[in-house]
């Protein structure tokens, strides 16, 4: 079974802090994604990556950056956390071409 | 604008009963449609994928249908169990010049009670 592991289930950070969310997958998937999930809005794509050191903006990249130095690891960075970034963050990975997304169990981030 | 709308927003049924969840979409050009199940506190898990040429596909007690002409899909759950309590998310993949793009519905929250 594919396993996507997110390093933290819950995080509480203060406004202005730099926040790192880590994600690791163990199935050698090329594609990795970061989404945020808010009530009533569905999942929204922040950033994705199709290969090591490659990144593409999703629908809501503002206030975020990412890093993919190794194939199995995809990090989401909040340079200066703000209260409107309080959300559930989901990492996912997949093979190319219409393969299903495999999600981690999410990180619930609260910014106070 | 590509959109995916799901109904109902929430649903409560008794254990053993059947139910049907709906998904309407405006995504075009269409590539495929997936249903995901998301248990509380967990990430979504894929249940089934429907491509343009498929009308019906089953996965155990879950049966998905697709009408590509009317751009509608349904997920039918037979003989519901308590473990079916979850959010069910419809995700439609569209084809763009830059590659595939996923559009997510907001989900139907299903609760199965004794």
What would the two tokens of residue B90 be? 């419809």
What would the two tokens of residue A105 be? 């169990």
Given a contact cutoff of 8 angstroms between Cβ atoms, the answer to whether B75 and B47 are in contact is: yes
| Distance to chain A for B52, nearest Cα, Å | 13
Residues in chain A where the model's pLDDT stays below 70: 1-2, 97
What would the two tokens of residue B103 be? 């559009």
- Distance separating alpha carbons of residues B33 and B92, to the nearest angstrom: 4
Residue A5's pLDDT is 96
Residues in chain B where the model's pLDDT stays below 70: none
- Distance separating alpha carbons of residues B97 and B81, to the nearest angstrom: 42
B49 interfaces chain A, CB cutoff of 8 Å: yes
A103 vs B31, B43, B105: nearest CB: B43
Residue A2's pLDDT is 67
What would the two tokens of residue A34 be? 């970061």
- Distance separating alpha carbons of residues A108 and A62, to the nearest angstrom: 19
Q: SS3 for B83?
A: helix
Residues 23-52 of chain A whose Cβ lies under 8 A from any Cβ of chain B: 40-45
For residue B85, CA distances in Å to A25, B14, B79, B101 come to 27, 11, 13, 28
Sequence-distant (6+) residues with CB within 8 A of A53 are A68, A69
B105 vs A42, A103, A106: nearest CB: A42
Q: Per-residue pLDDT tens for B14-32?
A: 999 999 999 999 998 988 9
Chain A residue nearest residue B6, CA to CA: A42
């Amino acid at each position: 079974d594919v396993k996507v592991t997110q390093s933290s289930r819950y995080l509480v950070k203060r406004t202005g802090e730099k926040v790192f969310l880590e994600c690791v997958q163990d199935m050698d998937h090329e594609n990795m994604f970061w989404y945020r999930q808010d009530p009533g809005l569905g999942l929204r794509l922040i950033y994705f990556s199709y290969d090591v050191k490659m990144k593409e903006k999703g629908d809501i990249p503002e206030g975020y950056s990412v890093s993919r130095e190794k194939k199995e690891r995809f990090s989401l960075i909040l340079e200066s956390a703000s209260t409107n970034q309080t959300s559930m963050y989901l990492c996912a990975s997949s093979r190319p071409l219409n393969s299903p997304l495999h999600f981690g169990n999410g990180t619930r981030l609260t910014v106070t | 604008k590509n959109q995916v709308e799901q109904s109902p927003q929430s649903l409560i049924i008794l254990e053993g009963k059947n139910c049907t969840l709906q998904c309407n979409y405006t995504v075009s050009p269409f590539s495929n449609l997936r249903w995901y199940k998301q248990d509380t506190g967990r990430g979504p898990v894929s249940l089934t994928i429907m491509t343009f040429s498929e009308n019906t596909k089953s996965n155990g007690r879950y049966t998905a249908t697709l009408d590509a002409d009317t751009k509608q899909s349904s997920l039918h759950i037979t003989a519901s169990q308590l473990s079916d309590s979850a959010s069910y998310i419809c995700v439609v993949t569209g084809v763009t010049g830059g590659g595939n793009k996923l559009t997510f519905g907001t989900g139907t929250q299903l609760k199965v009670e004794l």
